[in-house]
């Protein structure tokens, strides 16, 4: 390997060196590099998150607070999926597709509406007992 000391280079120089190496690699070698880079990226992100959490713990402690208590309470309006029932379907498509009526229209409904159908045709009728 050449006598390049990566610690003495700026980011743009390192990028140029890496790019030159990548240009000479086979598809298989590139796949290996991508896997290695992805794992390294995930590791660095985890390290950054850990450092940030530790910084926040220290700051909370210096202020006399409890870091864990800051995040243990539930927020007003926050949905806790473990104890809430799913939203009931309001519309049913010809192939059994369903939609709650919230958010963007699903593709199946948008396609049917473009074809001349009315959304109300697909309303699920409530059981009247």
Model confidence pLDDT, tens digit, residues 41-97: 999 999 999 999 999 989 988 888 888 877 776 555 555 556 677 888 999 999 999
Distance CA 98, CA 105 (A): 11
**Between 33 and 3, residue with greater pLDDT:** 33
Burial label for 57, CB within 10 Å (0-12, 13-18, 19+), is: middle
Q: State the pTM of this model.
A: 0.45
How far is C-alpha 34 from the geometric centre of its chain's CA atoms?
20
Structure tokens at 28: 């298989």
- Report DSSP state, residue 64: T
pLDDT at 1 over 70: no
Q: Provide φ and ψ at 64, rounded to 5°.
A: 85, 15
Distance CA 99, CA 113 (A): 14
């Amino acid at each position: 390997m050449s006598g390049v000391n990566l610690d003495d280079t700026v980011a743009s120089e390192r990028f140029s060196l890496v790019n030159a190496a990548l240009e000479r690699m086979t598809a298989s070698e590139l796949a290996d590099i991508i896997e290695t880079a992805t794992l390294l990226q995930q590791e660095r992100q985890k390290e950054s998150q850990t450092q940030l959490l530790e910084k926040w713990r220290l700051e909370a402690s210096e202020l006399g607070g409890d870091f864990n208590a800051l995040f243990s309470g539930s927020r007003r309006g926050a949905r806790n999926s473990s104890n809430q029932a799913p939203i009931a379907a309001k519309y049913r498509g010809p192939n059994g597709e369903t939609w709650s009526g919230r958010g963007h229209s699903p593709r199946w409904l948008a396609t049917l509406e473009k074809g001349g159908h009315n959304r109300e045709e697909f309303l699920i009728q409530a059981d009247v007992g």
